[in-house]
Structure formats: C-alpha cells, structure tokens
A and B are shown apart, each in its own frame.
Chain A
Amino acid sequence: MRRTLFTAVAAGLAGTLVLTACGGGGGGAPDSGEVTFWDTSGPNESPVFARIAQDCAGKGGFRVKTETVAFDQALNNYKTAAQGGQGPDVFRAEVAWVPQLAKLGYVRDLTGTDLLADTADFLGTPLGSTKYEGRGYGVPQVTDSLALFYNRKLLAAAGVEPPRTWAELKAAAPRLGGEKAFFVNNDAYYALPFLYGEGGDLVDAAAKRIVVNSAANVRALETAKDLLTSKSAGTALDPGNSYSNMQAAFGAGEVAMVVNGPWSVADYLKGAAFADAANLGIAPVPGVTAGKGSAPVGGHDYVIRQGSRAPDSAVKFVACMSGTGAQAAVARELGLLPTRKSAYDDPGVRANAVVSAFRPVADAAHPRPWIPEGGQLFDPLKIAYADVLAGREDAKSALDAVAKAYKDQILPEYSIG
C-alpha cells in the first residue's frame, strides 16, 4: 500500500517532468530487427569484431549496432542496465560471469534454441562455462589461457633457455639484468599460475570448501614474493598501473619475460622490441617442477539479455558470430583461440603462430569453478596479492583474510579449509 501510494505520487511528479518517455522492457513484443552488441574486447580487437558483426548482420538480414564497453566495468554496467530492462541484446561476457548472470536472471536461457542444439563441435571446457544448473545460457566465443612471453634476442644474448620452473627463472635472472628478467603483474588473475602450479586453488566447488588459504597457496605467493626480494623480477607496486607498465616495459624490451594471454600480442607487436614479430617467443608458464606449469582457463561467451527486444535476430547474430567461419577469421587476424574444433582445421588458423603456440597451453589449462560467485573471487585476492608483493603482509595472514572475506561476503555456505 505504502509503495503504491508513493509510486502514484512520484509518477505524477515525474510525469510533469517527462520530456522523452523511455519505455521499460519489451516482453512479448515482435523482433525489432536491430541487435545491440556490447563488445568488451580492447582497442586492438574491437575493430575486427565490429567488422564481423556487420558481415553477420548483412547475411542474416538484421541490423547490428556494436558498442565498445570497458571490460573492467562491463559486468557492473551490464547488471545495472539489465536490471532496468535496458542494455544490449547480445553481450560478450567473461566466462566467470555467465553463471552469475544466469542466477540473477539477467540472461536468457538458451537451452532448446538452435544455438545449443548441437554442441559437439565446441571444446569441452569453454562449453562448461556456459552452463548453470544444467541449463545453457551462453555460446563460447573465444578461449584463452596465460603463457610465458619472452624476448628471444634478450634470452639468446644471455644464453638462457625459456625457464620451465620458477627456480630456473630465478637462476637465470642475474644474466638477464636481475629485476629486468621478469615482470610480475600485480593482479589476482596473474597470481593463478603460481597457485595452480603448486597444486592450489581458490575454492573446491564440489566439496563446498574454501581452500584459498591452503599451504600450497601460501608457498605459491611466497614464490612470487621471493622473485621480487631476490631481485629476479620487477613489478609495479601501484596496482592501477601494473598492467600498462608491464606492457610498456616488455614492449620496449626493458623486461625479458612476462606472463600474459593471447590478447596481449597485438600490444607487444606495436612495441619497439617486437618490430620483428619473430622476436616474440611463447612458452608454457613455468611451474614448480618442469612441465607442470598451469594457467587458468579464460575466455568469453556470448549471452543474450533477458528481455531483449530482438530475441530472434540476437539468436541469429550469436549463431553467426560463434560459427566456424567467424571464429576462424578472428583466430587468423587476432591470434585468439577458437572454441570450435572445426575452426582449428582452417589452414590460416593452423599457420597462425600465436594460435599454434597457445593451443597446447589452452588444452592443458586449469579449469575454474563455474559457480555464480566465480567472478567475485578476485577482488579480495587482488588486494591480498598486492599486499604480499609489496611486503605489507605475509602470505599466510593475507590468504587467511581472503578466506574470511570469501566466507563472510561471497560463499557463506562454504566451509573454510
């Protein structure tokens, strides 16, 4: 009653002010024929995606409007928009976001549509990210993982092979200029190779346990910190600038090695050190023991917004964008990894150096828990990781605080340890 009274009053007030009325959701309305696509890929990739999107629109007989959205704000922006019945028809969601959006009811259940009719061609791990409680909410766009990038000339000049373990990296560092050997990016996602390499993880979803403060993880962060204290690696201690400093330093040849994903190649090739693209070497991330390096599965999925005003066109659009042809084009031009097995058979894709270097890395990548809370696990870890690298806290107490934050704020029904 109170609510209705207020709504009436407020609506009356607003009514006098309304200049342009914008309607809410359009449930049941016929297809508008225009698909708005929110592309969260960066400046290097978005022109290619925008072009392929236009091609799809031309073939499918609908219009498409591609809007670039900042990746790090995209999840929040999408949620805000979707809550109000606004936003894109199709959204490029990071793999960890899909279960969360599905749980909150912001994306359409695609089970039973043409999109998920035949999924045999998709790689298993990326496809897993689109599932929530047994139903499918997305279509895989690209998959990726992290690998070790190295400057061939610098390593050759120092007589160093790409390290297979962190210990090898540490041993080789003096010959590569100590801190200039490697750049540790101060971000939670980039802590995962250290954690996975030690056999650690953030949570054990099957057993509903928080394992972020395990002994393995403590060792892992100590390894990362030790690279800094032993002057075998450098970092930017201001997390806000860490990634761009890493890109600038490696691109300019000031740092010999970094860990990063296939999306970063375009940045490096613009740098002075990689005017000759052949100078860029790619190897699996180092581990504790050789060959046991392990990096997280990443990537992106297409999702369709619940309440989209172009539901049929959106399905056609996603089908085209995730099709073999589009994926192969993306892989050829950008070196991003397709999620369809058939796309890897494309000769142009097979010839792409980045794809072939990353293919085994991606196949061996460590799966992440596809739970709605998966995307939220990074915020507390990011602060803890930065604190540990800055020497403000020891690994054990920092990770204990992360575990507590997971329990209190994110996964109350899980148990710690």
Chain B
Amino acid sequence: MARRRRLASVGLHAALGTASLIAVFPVFWVLVTSFKPDARAVGTSPRLLDESTVDNYVRVLSGEKGDFLAWFGNSVQIAALTTVLSVFLSATTGYAVSRFRFPGKRSLMLSFLVVQMFPFAVLIVPLYDILLALGLQGTSLGLVLVYCTTAVPFCTYLLKGYFDTIPTDLDEAGRVDGLSPFGVFWRLILPLARPGLAVTAFYAFLTAWGEVAFASAFLSAADGSKTLAVGLQVFVQQNRTEWGHLAAASILVAVPAVVVFYLVQRHLVAGLSAGAVKG
C-alpha cells in the first residue's frame, strides 16, 4: 500500500513536473535569447550562452531601437485608464443587477453576454468611422474608448457574480441602520468585494495590455502613441528579425506583467470561481 502510494506520488510529480516544464520553457528560452546578439540567436546549434551580454537590454532601454520606454508608458496609460473606467462604470451596474429586480434586467444581462461574442471585425469599421468623426483616430483616448466596449460588459458580468456571493442579509442590516441603497453599496458591499474588484481590474488591465488588433489598426505608429504590442513588431519584420533585441524587450515587458499577475493571483482563484464561474 505504501509502495503504491509512493508510486502514485512519483507519477504525480512527474506529470506536474513535465507540465510545468512545458509551461516555463518557452519563456525561459526567451530569457536565454535576450542575452545573445541577433546574429547568434538564429543558428544551427543553439547554446545557453553564446556571446551573451546585456547589450540588447542597454540598446532597447536607451531608445536606440525605437522609444521603448514611451511605448511602455503608452501601454500603461491606456491599460490603466481602461481599467479605472471600466471597473468604475461596471461596479454600480454589477451591484444593481445582483440585488434589484427591475424590468429589463434579464435582457440587460443577456446583452452583456452577447457583447462578449462580438468579434472585433463587426465593430472595427464603425468604431473607426466614429473615431474619425470625433477626431480621436490615432489617439490613446480613442483606443481606451474602444477597449471599454469589451471590458465594461465583461467586468459587469464578473462583478455581478461576485456580488451574488455576498449575503443579502448584510444589505438588509444596512438598510435597517438607515443607509440608502447607494450607501449600502458604497459603505458595506464595496469594501467586502475588494477581491472581486481586484480580479475584475486585473482582467480589464489584461484586455487592454495585450490587445493587438485594435491597437495595430487604430494607433499611429508614432512613438508617442503606440503600445508595446505594436511597438515590438518593429523587431519582427518580414525581412529583418532581431530576435535578440525582441527577446530583451519581451523580458522587460513580461517581468512587470508577471509580478502584477502573482500579486493578484491569490485573489484570482477565489474571484474566478465566484465571478465568471457562477455567472
């Protein structure tokens, strides 16, 4: 019996170990490549170290290869603005849909789900037309508005699910104490919903941070406005791929993303199972 258990344990570790290796290896290899000169990054016999230096990082950060720091700033700015706007807008709605019964609620919820299905292809032309009309074509703010189209309904959906897990007794107790419905929401429920808000914010941030299609189509390629997802494409041109520099830039982008990810991941499981899952 003990032997069987040990065998099972070895199998378990082997399976998880293999899966972890597959999960980590591509990222690890980007790290390895980021130290190699471009000419050594593509070669017949890859080695861990091959004329490795930190030159790629220096050149990327110094702006010699395009204004990396500006792209980074643009990405942060766009993603942060999207996050703030969509969490702010969706929190009240999520609460209202979770707590109140009112005519039109069902179709509202349904429309949020349907909006999730919208391929960008159906909105890209009209949104483009609208941004042109507003003079926002090519600007960060225009892109934030575009991202809100997907982020807001999804955030509402997530937050509704999270508010559902908070017992309604609390609301009633608050009302007995003389709080208005909005007071209940603001003073009682919102503080309790912090993990849910964190997860929602995280999703909104991710939506904007990694988006490629709208950013490619709507942003001017000027350093002053393009995001990382667009800027990094400079390194992977059809005819001139600079893998070493691309890898260095990738690591510089991935590190903060990974750090933020692991900071919120504690809430992630809880938020997901409460939010998306019970949707």
Whether A and B touch directly in their complex, counting CB atoms under 8 A apart, is answered as yes
Residues of A within 8 A of B (CB): 3, 6-7, 10-11, 14, 17-20, 22-24, 36, 38, 42-43, 47, 67-74, 76-78, 80-81, 83-88, 187, 240-241, 243-245, 248, 251-252, 254, 270-271
B141 partner, pick from A19, A83, A241, beta carbons under 8 A: A19
- What B residues does A78 contact at CB under 8 A? 221
**Chain B, residue nearest A81 (CB):** B220
Asked if residues B138 and A43 are in contact (CB atoms below 8 Å), the reply is: no
A80 partner, pick from B66, B217, B240, beta carbons under 8 A: B217
Asked if residues A248 and B237 are in contact (CB atoms below 8 Å), the reply is: no
Report the separation of the CA atoms of residues A221 and B136 in the bound assembly, to the nearest whole angstrom. 46
Asked if residues A70 and B134 are in contact (CB atoms below 8 Å), the reply is: no
Report the separation of the CA atoms of residues A315 and B276 in the bound assembly, to the nearest whole angstrom. 57
We find that the number of chain B residues with CB closer than 8 angstroms to chain A is 41
- What A residues does B238 contact at CB under 8 A? 71-72, 187, 240, 243
Asked if residues B240 and A71 are in contact (CB atoms below 8 Å), the reply is: yes
- What B residues does A17 contact at CB under 8 A? 85, 141, 144-145
- Top 9 nearest A-B pairs by Cβ distance? A84-B137, A77-B221, A81-B220, A84-B138, A24-B135, A86-B138, A72-B238, A70-B234, A86-B220
- What A residues does B138 contact at CB under 8 A? 80-81, 83-87
Residues of B within 8 A of A (CB): 39, 42-44, 64-67, 81, 85, 130-139, 141, 144-145, 216-223, 225, 233-234, 237-243
Known contacts A68-B234, A243-B238, A243-B239, A11 near B222 by CB under 8 Å? no
Q: List 21 A-B contacts (CB under 8 A).
A: A17-B145, A20-B141, A43-B65, A68-B65, A68-B234, A72-B239, A77-B221, A80-B138, A80-B219, A81-B220, A83-B132, A84-B136, A86-B138, A86-B139, A88-B222, A243-B239, A243-B240, A244-B42, A244-B241, A248-B42, A251-B39
Report the separation of the CA atoms of residues A257 and B194 in the bound assembly, to the nearest whole angstrom. 64
- What A residues does B217 contact at CB under 8 A? 80
Report the separation of the CA atoms of residues A252 and B41 in the bound assembly, to the nearest whole angstrom. 13
Shortest beta-carbon distance from A36 to chain B in Å: 7
Asked if residues A36 and B222 are in contact (CB atoms below 8 Å), the reply is: yes
Asked if residues B85 and A69 are in contact (CB atoms below 8 Å), the reply is: no
A-B contact count (CB 8 A): 125
Seed contacts A38-B222, A251-B39; 11 additional CB < 8 Å A-B pairs: A7-B134, A17-B141, A67-B223, A68-B66, A70-B221, A71-B237, A72-B237, A80-B137, A80-B138, A240-B238, A254-B44
Asked if residues B220 and A80 are in contact (CB atoms below 8 Å), the reply is: yes
- What A residues does B225 contact at CB under 8 A? 86
Report the separation of the CA atoms of residues A255 and B56 in the bound assembly, to the nearest whole angstrom. 27
Asked if residues B218 and A10 are in contact (CB atoms below 8 Å), the reply is: no
Report the separation of the CA atoms of residues A86 and B223 in the bound assembly, to the nearest whole angstrom. 12
**Chain A, residue nearest B40 (CB):** A248
Report the separation of the CA atoms of residues A80 and B213 in the bound assembly, to the nearest whole angstrom. 13
- What A residues does B233 contact at CB under 8 A? 70, 73
- What A residues does B237 contact at CB under 8 A? 42, 70-73
**Chain A, residue nearest B148 (CB):** A17
Report the separation of the CA atoms of residues A77 and B136 in the bound assembly, to the nearest whole angstrom. 16
Asked if residues B133 and A3 are in contact (CB atoms below 8 Å), the reply is: yes
- What A residues does B132 contact at CB under 8 A? 83-84
Shortest beta-carbon distance from A272 to chain B in Å: 9
Report the separation of the CA atoms of residues A76 and B138 in the bound assembly, to the nearest whole angstrom. 13
- What B residues does A270 contact at CB under 8 A? 39
Report the separation of the CA atoms of residues A88 and B81 in the bound assembly, to the nearest whole angstrom. 26
